[in-house]
Structure 1
Amino acid sequence: MNDSKPLENGTNTILTAVNSINLILGLPINSYAMCLILSGAGGTMASELFFLNLIVSVLTSSLASVFYFAIYCNIKMIAVAWSAIMLFYVSVPSFQRNMVKYKVTVSTAGTSMAFTTNSVFIKLVGREGESKRTKLTSIIGAVIGAVDFFQGTASTFSVDCPVSLGELVLIELEKKALLMAVDWFPNKIEIESPEGDIYHFPIYRLIANGQTHLFKEAKAVPLLVLVWWDIAEEGIPHCMKAGNPLDLPYEVRFTFTKSTEFLFTLSTGLVELNLKCLANSKDTWKTINDIAYVKSTDISDYVREHWKEDAFFGHQYLNGVNPILIRRCTALPDNFPVTNDMLSIHGGRSLEEEMKNGNMFLLDYKNLDGVEANIINGKQQYLMAPLVLLHLTPERKLRPIAIQLKQKPSEDNPIFLPTDSEYDWLMAKIYVRSADFSDHQLNFHLLRTHLLAEVFTLSLLRNVPMVHPLYKLLIPHTRFTLQINNLARGFLISKKGFFNNYAASGGKAMKTILQRSTASLTYSSLCPPDDIKERGMDSVPGYYYRDDALQLWAIIYRFVEGILGYYYHTDAEVQKDSELQKWINDIFFHGFLAEASTGVPQSLSSVGELVKFVTMVIFTGSAQHSAANSGQFDYGGWMPNTPITLRCPPPTTKGSSSQSSMLEALPDVAATANGLSTMWLLSKQSSDFHPLGHYKEEHFSEEIPCKFILDFKAELAEFGAAVNARNQTLEVPYTYMDPQLVENSVAV
């Protein structure tokens, strides 16, 4: 019995240590699990953690039982043997000194619900051999599970092999659940070989349970089978086939943050604007001062004060939300019979002289001509197709000098002038501004940014693998585009959506306007250098949209030229790239409906042609969308400046308009409230916002492309500083193309 005494005395210490381990491990595991349950963020993960704690308890209790048995039986050899086993287990790495080690670093996405608590296995495949299927577990991760693959973390592991595998060409990745499957979204895996070489494996996709995923070096399986084309309406760009956001591949859905914020803003917009009590009102506005004006911005305050002024009316067509409609007028359209006798031009100059001098400009809403305006609550709405002549004065102010509200001249379609009565002229401008709302929303905003960006995105996902430089370059500029368009089809342009319920251009009108706008779409109109020249707007003073668009286009062009020039050295390389040619052909067919008259290339034959087209794609989804979207509430927050519908036909004779007839024509209370709420929603920036040029996902690994990205960001920052300095001097700043406020993609 004396021989067993030392062992028995040491056992108390060992058992105390075992129980302490049980407590130390169990308390944080159970506490963390309870936090997950209480927060509602991880019921599945919590269940696995509770089960893990049970396993730890069983193992430590088993260890204690073995020592008790050794003491009771006075069998020293059992204790010695058990200790030897434990020593061998702990010191296994010392027996692997002849093994070569691969350092594997796994980065999990930072978005909510990207983590997993399941087991992850990897196999490395090289040109000279392959590793065993290895479970990725660190010492800490083996105990508390969630650490290794938690969102926003990068964890490092070791994969041991008897000999070097040579150049790595492939990895196999598999995830298996202990109890409940928890999908995982890793960003990338980087592997350092024993020779010191670094291999990059971009993932950026959902890893489901029980499936083996193969990833090549700098390449992953493209999303060729997960997205399909659909035709929502004949005569407009094709879209993605998806019934609701849950039908979208996980890779292209909103992050948890984006989803939560969007749905919250959507559901609380009326409340936030203090308009909830007005949303279903049947009333009309009795006085101009009664009109709802709630949430304001600096610019919307300015709009409310100056909306009646001719100079501000003209300003909006240079620097408002629809700055691509205006063009220089060198000859009047035949259907717009303005004469010198009607006009009073400063300095006594004639209309012909001022057109020759380049001081006359035209707004032509011909795409709205003859559309069947919406019927709301059984009441016919009205949508005009105006012609507007504007004059650039010696004071460098752009002012309207003649307005015809319908395309076809007639006795009941007078040409309104600034010399007419106050309300005749004001009403004419109101009908123009209402027409501009529909043209802006359906043509410039929806068609030319949202729908085209969706086409660019779908074609990329369907045709271009992740290894391709085009994919790496464009994928950040497709972020959230598919889901935001899916939501737009549900909330804005569906049969029960905003346009059908409240806008004059809802119902049949919307389809007609979109089809006509698509038919008039050209490649050159999507490229600011070409578009501005074609519209004769290259020398107009105070045209800040033009100035910023050309600067941003040039910066994006240099960036694209650098990146693509690194990969494509000759035109022949572009011509022989089958994936590239499939991408452009899909865009031509599905986006521009195979119309050669658009000028969109069906194939790409040179590096220069490729650079220009890709520049257009990036510009459209970032800067152009910002120009069309960001200022909606600024210029629409005061409803009379941008009426979404008009409830009365336009005046057919002069002298018949009054404040009373104006109020009768303006949108009713419910339409106003819902219009303001919608524009507020669409103008609101998400906290999950990626500014232009900021790429959080590292798709490029080569040194030179990464340097081009840094140069791109530096150029954008320099340009942004210049924009801010200029805006300090302006009465109405133009901020919509400030790179810090421009999102990488169509995401709202």
Structure 2
Amino acid sequence: YSSTTHINRVSSSSWRVYKEGLPECIDADDVSALPSEVQFSFIKNIQFILLNVSVLLAVFSEYVKQHWREDAFFGYQFLNGVNPMMIRHCKSLPKNFPVTDVMVKLEGNRKLSQEIKKGNMFLCDYKDLDGVTTSHINDEEQYLAAPLVLFHKTPDDELKPVAIQLKQTPAEDNPIFVSSDSEYDWLLAKIFVRSADFNEQQLNAHLLRTHLLAEVFTVALLRNLPKVHPLHKLLIHHTRFTLHINLNARKSLISEDGVFTSFSAASAEGMTKLMQRSHSAVTYESLCIKDDIKERGLESVPNFYYRDDGFKLWTSSRILTYYYKKDEEIKRDTELQEYIKSIFEHGFGSREETGELKSTVDELVKFVTMVIFTCSAQHAAVNNGQADYGSWMPNTPTSLQKPPPTQKGTVTEQTVLQTLPDRNATQIAVALGHFPDEHFTEEVPCRLMRQFCAELDKLDKEIDDKNKKRKLPYIYLKPTLMENSVSI
């Protein structure tokens, strides 16, 4: 592998500012300008077209259709649905969400103030959606709320919503809806939350935190680590097709006249604003599942399968300790140093301090695990369930055609029907841990890769066994159902 080859790869993998305040992307206007090894093959192009299929007859879709109105299922989705990234432990109520003991009726005749002290209340705050400009679909203005949602962990360990405020600023025309309100008042409030969650999930949890960051990881890899570098061999599987899919997304999905604006509440300008706000809050720790779960106070919440399966997938790669046995070896590896520096410079705007990451074996292992987890498991968690939970449109409305209600007691079934949109989209994905190209040739790394695959197979069987005991299986972090990379 010659230095000239690496120079050519660097020149074809330059950086470009995509939007101010967002991670940078590869400098390319068309897929033909991408390095050949990151382009879709003919087979992948055909798969990408054929895999956009409906799963309306699947067990998930039928279950969602039957249970979408229920408070317990509504709460379940914030732990194990397509966006488990918003909910957090509520130690005290935000000042702009003045829920009182008198307002809410909690199961077991418990008081809100007491349940907060006991650690049984949880919160979702969609403040980043406040003021986001909305789109026009078929010449009709669309609506997007910026709600706050309060959840109660019931005595039987279910998570149920008890209060919803649809706008950020308390006001007479911004009532706090509670679970004891009329059927359609409460249902419409939950529908506005689900629509807000769709936009937050698509643009922050999915696009920004997996697709755009995975592109940063990929370009940094191509520019700084030659093919003979052990980290290149380990990570190249997890960058497969990411640049190609992202370039297509920027051109066809999230551009000014992209497909997303034809069915989503957020306009092109609104999408950018939301992602800029979200990106300012992205930290290295927030991409490490164990740190993130701890920061959100969710270590002990029951029936949280994203956390439980994710922790098992967050496994340190023993391959790195084969190549790096001492901290000094990391400090001397200038290519590795530039790789890490490049990610923080172009992905985080150099907001984060990288000193420790570049100086110890343990920190390097954690950093590389974060890269792999983001590109594979995290993307699967926020992508692969979209069809399951979204194919029954009222459960995940992409946009809404009426503004949030300004008073209680006015919502009817007809109001709900007039508010809902009429379209949604579906996606599916395939297997983690099976690499179509072999990059490691040494005996020890090859053996460690085989052991890693065996551990994934064991985890897959464990998840299958647990799912047999659940009303609804959690399958998004099953290794056999995950892609290695952000490629769909």
Report the TM-score range of the alignment, normalised by the length of the smaller protein.
over 0.9
Q: Does 1:566 align with 2:322?
A: yes
TM-score by length of 1: 0.64
Q: State which of 413, 429, 442 in structure 1 corresponds to 2:174.
A: 413
Q: What is aligned with 1:498?
A: 259
Q: State which of 329, 344, 347 in structure 1 corresponds to 2:108.
A: 347
From the superposition, tell whether residues 601 and 389 of structure 1 become closer, same or farther in structure 2 (CA, over 3 Å): farther
Distance 1:319 1:617 in 2: 22
* Cα offset, 1:692, TM superposition: 2.0
Q: What is aligned with 1:637?
A: 391
Q: Does 1:607 align with 2:393?
A: no
Distance 1:263 1:392 in 2: 42
From the superposition, tell whether residues 234 and 221 of structure 1 become closer, same or farther in structure 2 (CA, over 3 Å): closer
* Cα offset, 1:264, TM superposition: 4.8
Residue 449 of structure 2 aligns with an amino acid whose one-letter code is I
* Cα offset, 1:265, TM superposition: 5.4
Q: Percent identity?
A: 53
Q: State which of 428, 432, 450 in structure 2 corresponds to 1:684.
A: 428
Distance 1:317 1:543 in 2: 9
Q: What is aligned with 2:280?
A: 519
Q: State which of 368, 376, 380 in structure 1 corresponds to 2:137.
A: 376
Distance 2:251 2:356 in 1: 32
C-alpha contact (below 8 Å) 1:220/1:467 kept by paired residues: no
Distance 2:387 2:306 in 1: 18
Q: What is aligned with 2:34?
A: 248
C-alpha contact (below 8 Å) 2:174/2:406 kept by paired residues: yes
Q: What is aligned with 2:163?
A: 402
Q: Does 1:719 align with 2:480?
A: no
From the superposition, tell whether residues 313 and 331 of structure 1 become closer, same or farther in structure 2 (CA, over 3 Å): same
Distance 1:732 1:631 in 2: 12
Q: What is aligned with 2:293?
A: 532
Q: Which runs of 5+ in 1 are unaligned?
A: 1-200, 202-213, 274-293
* Cα offset, 1:553, TM superposition: 0.4
Task: String of CA shifts for 1:264-320, please: whole Å, max 9, x gaps.
Answer: 556xx6xxx6xxxxxxxxxxxxxxxxxxxx833211110011000000000000100
Q: How does 1:459-474 map to 2 (within 5 A)?
A: 459-474=220-235
Q: Does 1:705 align with 2:459?
A: no
C-alpha contact (below 8 Å) 1:581/1:603 kept by paired residues: no
Q: Does 1:649 align with 2:389?
A: no
C-alpha contact (below 8 Å) 2:255/2:268 kept by paired residues: no
Distance 1:666 1:382 in 2: 10
Q: Does 1:578 align with 2:322?
A: no
Question: Which stretch of structure 1 is more off in the superposition, 520-529 or 499-508?
Answer: 499-508
From the superposition, tell whether residues 712 and 222 of structure 1 become closer, same or farther in structure 2 (CA, over 3 Å): farther
Q: What is aligned with 1:626?
A: 380
Distance 2:401 2:394 in 1: 13
Q: What is aligned with 2:85?
A: 324
Q: What is aligned with 1:229?
A: 15
C-alpha contact (below 8 Å) 1:222/1:466 kept by paired residues: no
TM-score by length of 2: 0.97
Q: State which of 550, 560, 564 in structure 1 corresponds to 2:311.
A: 550
- Structure 1 or 2, whichever has the larger Rg, is 1
* Cα offset, 1:246, TM superposition: 1.7
Distance 1:488 1:586 in 2: 23
Q: Does 1:448 align with 2:209?
A: yes
Distance 2:205 2:176 in 1: 27
Distance 2:355 2:11 in 1: 26
Distance 2:33 2:458 in 1: 41
Q: Does 1:262 align with 2:48?
A: yes
Task: String of CA shifts for 1:2-41, please: whole Å, max 9, x gaps.
Answer: xxxxxxxxxxxxxxxxxxxxxxxxxxxxxxxxxxxxxxxx
Distance 1:616 1:429 in 2: 33
Distance 2:345 2:444 in 1: 34
RMSD: 1.7
What SS does the corresponding residue of 2:122 show, helix, strand or coil? strand
* Cα offset, 1:220, TM superposition: 7.2
Task: String of CA shifts for 1:184-216, please: whole Å, max 9, x gaps.
Answer: xxxxxxxxxxxxxxxxx7xxxxxxxxxxxx599
C-alpha contact (below 8 Å) 2:92/2:116 kept by paired residues: yes
Residue 581 of structure 1 aligns with an amino acid whose one-letter code is Q
* Cα offset, 1:601, TM superposition: 5.5
Q: Does 1:694 align with 2:456?
A: no
C-alpha contact (below 8 Å) 2:165/2:176 kept by paired residues: yes
What SS does the corresponding residue of 1:521 show, helix, strand or coil? coil
C-alpha contact (below 8 Å) 1:502/1:644 kept by paired residues: yes
Q: How does 1:133-532 map to 2 (within 5 A)?
A: 223-264=9-50, 295-532=56-293
Q: Does 1:739 align with 2:479?
A: yes
Distance 1:533 1:215 in 2: 44
C-alpha contact (below 8 Å) 1:323/1:545 kept by paired residues: yes
Q: What is aligned with 1:658?
A: 412
* Cα offset, 1:424, TM superposition: 0.3
* Cα offset, 1:600, TM superposition: 5.6
* Cα offset, 1:375, TM superposition: 2.3
* Cα offset, 1:221, TM superposition: 7.0
Residue 737 of structure 1 aligns with an amino acid whose one-letter code is L
Residue 326 of structure 1 aligns with an amino acid whose one-letter code is I
Residue 232 of structure 1 aligns with an amino acid whose one-letter code is Y
Task: String of CA shifts for 1:381-407, please: whole Å, max 9, x gaps.
Answer: 111110000001111111000000011
What SS does the corresponding residue of 1:242 show, helix, strand or coil? coil
Residue 719 of structure 1 aligns with an amino acid whose one-letter code is L
Residue 723 of structure 1 aligns with an amino acid whose one-letter code is I
Q: Which has the higher strand share?
A: 1
Aligned length: 488
Higher relative contact order (CA closer than 8 Å, sequence separation 6+): 2
Distance 1:454 1:419 in 2: 46
Q: What is aligned with 1:177?
A: none
Distance 2:434 2:304 in 1: 27
C-alpha contact (below 8 Å) 1:491/1:498 kept by paired residues: yes
Residue 666 of structure 1 aligns with an amino acid whose one-letter code is L
Distance 2:331 2:77 in 1: 43
Distance 1:585 1:247 in 2: 25
Distance 1:535 1:601 in 2: 25
Task: String of CA shifts for 1:359-396, please: whole Å, max 9, x gaps.
Answer: 10001101111112222233221111100000011111
* Cα offset, 1:341, TM superposition: 0.4
* Cα offset, 1:471, TM superposition: 0.4
C-alpha contact (below 8 Å) 1:222/1:464 kept by paired residues: no
Residue 553 of structure 1 aligns with an amino acid whose one-letter code is W
C-alpha contact (below 8 Å) 2:133/2:267 kept by paired residues: no
* Cα offset, 1:531, TM superposition: 0.6
Q: Which runs of 5+ in 2 are unaligned?
A: none
Distance 2:354 2:89 in 1: 25
What SS does the corresponding residue of 1:403 show, helix, strand or coil? strand
Distance 1:706 1:227 in 2: 29
Distance 2:230 2:449 in 1: 13
Q: Does 1:592 align with 2:378?
A: no
What SS does the corresponding residue of 2:9 show, helix, strand or coil? coil
Task: String of CA shifts for 1:698-735, please: whole Å, max 9, x gaps.
Answer: 21111111111011011111111000011111111000
Distance 1:479 1:499 in 2: 24
